[in-house]
Amino acid sequence: MKRILTGDRTTGRLHLGHYIGSLANRARLQNEYDTFILLADVQALTTHFKNPALIHDSICQVAVDNLSAGLDPEKITLVQQSQVPAIAELTVLFSMLVSVNSLRHNPTIKTEAKQYGYDDLSYGFLGYPVSQTADITFCGADLVPVGADQMPHMEAAHKIVRRFNDLYGDTFRLPQALLSATPRLPGVDGNAKMGKSLGNAIYLSDDAETVAAKLRSARTDPARLHAADPGDPQVCVAAAYYKAFAPQSYEEICESCRGGKIGCAACKRELARQINALLEPVRERNAYYTARPAVVKELIAAGTARANAVGAETMRRVKDAMGVTL
Ligand code: TRP
């Protein structure tokens, strides 16, 4: 079986944007690939190093969210990044092969630096694409499912792998990015991005009433004052959610909106019904694992142990190739 590695920073609960953008896809791919899911707690520190409590609690939370989304603990390998020495070691060794300038010009680094208000970048933050390359290569991943924002990091990984193989002999295979096909999900407030730090997210662990309430507050066409006014689905968050989560109803609901035949309240009630139906099995698994923290910890420990066996083997080959063995 070919191997997948992908992961999430442990900086909070996962939401519907993660679900539609990556988790649902992971659940489909787990049957065809040996799937490693990285709980990226070290990468979480690059931006959240002042909040160790959040990072700590999010390690199990992110694992639970992945399992809730339908990832089968019998099939996947959950890996806690900080507990894999091979990732830390590879990061140091790869750091010789990457220029500071290429990191400074990485578009995602630039966007995130602005978002977090950094004008004086830390070494760890600037270098996280190097560490992400280590995430991918320590286990010899063939395929890396990611969103569009991660493509600059995949390019960096390609450069590093090629450079390594050129200098030290064929050691790593070139990992392929698998770009998410779904467009970015807007937040309930109409912001182009649903984000935990933006306060506009619907979480996988939200109960049915919370989901309905958040949808009631979701931003619709601001020019539409009465139910009988024609609405513009292009500028409506509810329409975007129909497209993502109830595509079979999308065209019809847009028609009704444009024709002033359905009001926003009724439209959102129906949307809440459909999203809650979709989330029901997710919520059930969430409740199951949340009630069993010891089971979750054991799954993470076992997965990490498996990853470490793979990583130790990789490091033997890497150190040999780079000449740092006796
Ligand atoms: N940077 C990714 C994100 O923010 C998370 C991540 C960490 C990752 N390591 C990875 C993704 C390795 C793919 C492969 O979503």
CA of 149 to the centre of ligand 1 (A): 10
Please determine, for residue 40, whether its predicted confidence score (pLDDT) is greater than 90: yes
Ligand 1, pocket-test mutation among 15, 135, 196, most atoms within 8 A of CB = 135
Write out the two tokens for 28: 């489909």
Under the phi-then-psi rule, with left for phi > 0, alpha for psi from -120 to 50, and beta for the rest, what region is 140? left
Q: Is 38 in the pocket of ligand 1 (CB under 6 A)?
A: yes
How is the chain split into domains, by residue range? Answer: 3-185+293-322, 206-286
Q: What is the mean pLDDT of residues 105-117?
A: 94
Please determine, for residue 119, whether its predicted confidence score (pLDDT) is greater than 90: no
pLDDT band at 196 (very low <50, low <70, confident <90, very high): confident
Q: Determine the topology of domain 3-185+293-322 in CATH.
A: Rossmann fold (3.40.50)
Do 271 and 236 contact (CB within 8 A), yes or no? no
pLDDT tens by residue, 57-75: 999 999 999 999 999 999 9
Q: What percent of the chain has pLDDT over 70?
A: 100
pLDDT at 213: 98
- Do domains 3-185+293-322 and 206-286 share one topology? The answer is no
Q: The domain 206-286: what is its CATH number?
A: 1.10.240.10
CA of 266 to the centre of ligand 1 (A): 38
pLDDT band at 197 (very low <50, low <70, confident <90, very high): confident
If you average pLDDT over every residue of the chain, what do you get?
A: 97
pLDDT tens by residue, 243-252: 999 999 999 9
pLDDT at 156: 98
